[in-house]
Chain A
Amino acid sequence: MRVALFVTCLADLMKPGVAFAAIRLLEHGGCTVEVPRTQTCCGQPAYNSGDRATAIALAKKALAEFEGFDYVVAPSGSCGGMVRAHYPELFRDDPATLKRIEGLASRTYELTDFLVNVLKLDSVPGDFKGTVTYHDSCSGLRELNVKAQPRALLAKLPGVTLTEMNEAETCCGFGGTFSLKFGEVSTQLADNKCGNACATGADAIVGGDLGCLLNIEGRLRRRGDLKTRVLHIAEVLAGRSE
């Protein structure tokens, strides 16, 4: 099975370890993983900012890069959701491209969703030990129905205890450029999230989207908490968490 990794712009720039962890997990599941070299960004920042033309251009670029694979997997519900839930809408007036885009969308998965529902992994290579609490990212949860998948995978790690936080499904306040435009409100929502997460006493806050994780970690550190770890689910599952 030839699987293309959609690295995501945030993993590329901020946390390469997440993309390496994703590769490790996919290979563990028997996939041949390829990383198209010219990929950059799915276009969601443009799409959510009202710049439809750039979003369309980047969607076409992604289509050319990823169309030839059996599956496309992203370690992000946000980018995965962009492709699956929003790309088709961008081409509603372009039937020829729409058909191809719909094909791409149907073969594109968020990482944990792919590991559970396509690869049906029965083990994961990680060896994390400790209690974790899981933050459900909005796009993964509400666009791709990612909820049980990461928890099912965490349950395969004998050293991991999952303690659910209150309001796990509530937005952390990131929202892409929202976090810059409405910094105070965004910070408040991140603070609420940190409060709920820390109340569990977990060693690590785990999630599936780097945007949320940077936001949560950023607020956590500013609150003075240098101890609680903030990890991407791929890092935990692959055993690459530094």
Chain B
Amino acid sequence: MELRANEFRARAAANLGDAKLQRGLGLIKVKAVVNRASAVAEFGDFEALRETGKAIRDRALADLDLYLERFEREAAARGAVVHWAENASEACRIVVDIARENGVKTVAKSKSMVSEEVGLNDALIAAGVTPVETDLGEYILQINDAEPPSHIVMPVIHKTAEDVADLFHAKHGTPRKTDPALLTREAREILRPKFLSAEMGVSGANFLVAETGSTLIVTNEGNGRLCTTLTRIHVALTGIEKVVPTLEDAATLLRLLPRSATGQAITNYVSLHTGPKHIEETDGPRQFHIVLVDNGRSKLLAGEMREMLRCIRCGACMNHCPVYQAVGGHAYGWVYPGPMGNILTPSYVGLENAVQLPNAATLCNQCGVVCPVKIPLPDLMRKLREEQMARGLKPFGERLGLALWGWAAQRPALYALGTRLAARFMKWLGGRGRLIHRLPLAGGWSDGRDFPAPAGRTFRELYQRSKR
């Protein structure tokens, strides 16, 4: 996916004024936030479940190499082929090679963020293979000139039914309709023959189960099952961090994932893929390939961002992020938006290529509170800010301001003098209305807000006077 993370500020500001986008984003609060809250309340001790989920993910990461080897052994023993991809281009090459070797013309795809991350669709197209997105949201994006998703679970949350009505009318050449049920039926009618003709299906994997060598996906539309069972070849593409030790562990995480994502107790479909079709079975793919992508993950494992690898991609952090809610996913300029993106994007594409993102949060910690595996997202953003400071990736003005302020704050007499002057200056700026309409050097504040002026004396002055 095209990287535009360094345009965050401009795109975020533009999105604030996009009325249609704002309507879509409003739905997140209504749906995801409220639904999660009631699912959590209904569950009972969700806090204990979060602790258990965190412990499972930590256990998997502590011995990631061992669990991955176990996964590979078990998967191979059941007839699957495990491929290892160090980076995005390797991942694409592996999938393209599988397609080529088997004369594949069409690939039916179930939703996968790793596929977005590695840019699989472009690679397939370049190799003369047609990828067809079959998740309704991803399909809408694909026929809209391969627009990127704006949410990891609800990829078209930025679009309204009216948008989709126009799009289908234009691209399908059918009479315009706005009823979501009819639009869905139309998409289904177009996608059904593609499922039947595709020689290969590509899915992601929400979890890899080490003890059985299985991949697991959760979906609501059922397209994932068609992609993975109807085609001759199933390719599951996912990150190496998705492994968990046992089926029991996966089952525990399954209690966390849909509740955190959409407030569902369980998704409509939970599919476990263990090996290709057996000789005595009547259906299923003849080949089952599992492509495990590193693409920066093992580097995270060894560093300060390690806890981010616990992520199970539920999207709760963005659903609950006031900044995401205001600006939408596209502003973040890469695959993963919201708080998770503030960490993953700089981690995977380089901090210098996403300098604004670790700062694009108020550190309100609502994300940390809802994260099903207790990732301390604000702490990780803060660590990236420290790295920015150390690597000189902060603007000169900010560094200068911080340095001056920090220097003065360690010198109480000087600090007292500085605040005394500042209080008087701001009082003067405020005038009779006691409101500063334009703050020098802080237009970011005063373009949209006044600044309440102080009364002109610092507490320090007044207190010392009162003590005399």
Contact = CB atoms under 8 A, between A and B. Distances in A.
A218 B451 contact: yes
Contact of B406 (A57, A169, A178, A181): A57
Interface stretch (B41-49, B241-249, B381-389): B381-389
A57 B410 CA distance: 8
Nearest to B414: A40
Q: Interface on chain A toward B: helix, strand, loop, or mixed SS?
A: helix
B399 to A, nearest CB: 9
Given A175-B363, A180-B445, A183-B443, A40 B409 contact: yes
B462 interface: yes
A221 B386 contact: no
B241 to A, nearest CB: 25
A180 B444 contact: yes
Interface string A148-186: 000000000000000000000111011111111111111
B76 interface: no
B196 interface: no
A173 B459 contact: no
Contacts of A12: 419, 458-460
B326 interface: yes
Interface residues of A, number: 64
B415 A214 contact: no
Given A171-B322, A188-B16, A58 B410 contact: yes
Interface size class of B (residues with CB under 8 A): 35 or more
A15 B456 CA distance: 9
B452 interface: yes
B384 to A, nearest CB: 8
A240 to B, nearest CB: 12
A187 B444 CA distance: 9
A215 B406 contact: no
Contact of A222 (B365, B408, B450): B450
B447 interface: yes
Interface stretch (B186-194, B254-262, B285-293, B354-362): B354-362
A217 interface: yes
B435 interface: yes
Interface string B431-468: 00001000000111101111110110111101110000
Given A12-B458, A185-B12, A61 B449 contact: no
B9 interface: yes
Nearest to B320: A170
Nearest to B467: A35
A215 B449 contact: yes
Q: Interface on chain B toward A: helix, strand, loop, or mixed SS?
A: helix
A175 B454 CA distance: 20
Contacts of A19: 459, 463
A218 B419 contact: no
B405 interface: yes
B13 A178 contact: no
A73 interface: no
Given A13-B419, A50-B389, A185-B12, A179 B444 contact: yes
Contacts, number: 190
A54 B402 contact: yes
B385 A48 contact: yes
Contact of A54 (B323, B406, B454): B406
B361 A175 contact: yes
Nearest to B423: A13
Nearest to B358: A50
A57 B412 CA distance: 13
Contact of B454 (A14, A190, A219): A14
B459 A174 contact: no
B362 A170 contact: no
Contacts of B385: 48-50
A173 B362 contact: yes
Query: Which of B364, B384, B388 has the most C-beta atoms of chain A within 10 angstroms of its own C-beta?
Result: B364
A51 B13 CA distance: 27
Contacts of A217: 450, 452
Given A57-B410, A178-B359, A179-B444, A185 B326 contact: yes
B2 interface: no
A49 B404 CA distance: 14
B233 interface: no
A8 to B, nearest CB: 9
A142 interface: yes
A177 B398 contact: yes
B394 interface: yes
A38 B443 CA distance: 31
Contact of B402 (A51, A89, A221): A51
B214 to A, nearest CB: 37
Contact of B382 (A50, A189, A214): A50
A101 interface: no
A189 B322 contact: yes
A40 B415 contact: yes
A16 interface: yes
Given A142-B364, A221-B435, A51 B326 contact: no
A185 B460 contact: no
A52 interface: yes
A138 interface: yes
Contact of A181 (B327, B359, B454): B359
A43 B407 CA distance: 11
Contacts of A58: 406, 409-410
Interface in B371-428: 379, 382, 384-390, 394, 398, 402, 405-406, 408-410, 412, 415, 419, 422-423
Given A19-B459, A54-B406, 18 more contacts: A12-B419, A12-B460, A13-B423, A16-B455, A16-B462, A46-B402, A50-B387, A51-B386, A138-B364, A175-B363, A176-B363, A182-B359, A187-B448, A189-B362, A214-B451, A214-B452, A221-B449, A221-B452
Q: Which 7 residue pairs spanning A and B have beta carbons closest together?
A: A175-B362, A183-B444, A187-B448, A50-B385, A218-B449, A16-B459, A54-B406
12 contacts: A11-B459, A58-B410, A173-B322, A175-B363, A180-B442, A183-B443, A183-B445, A184-B448, A185-B326, A190-B449, A217-B452, A221-B450
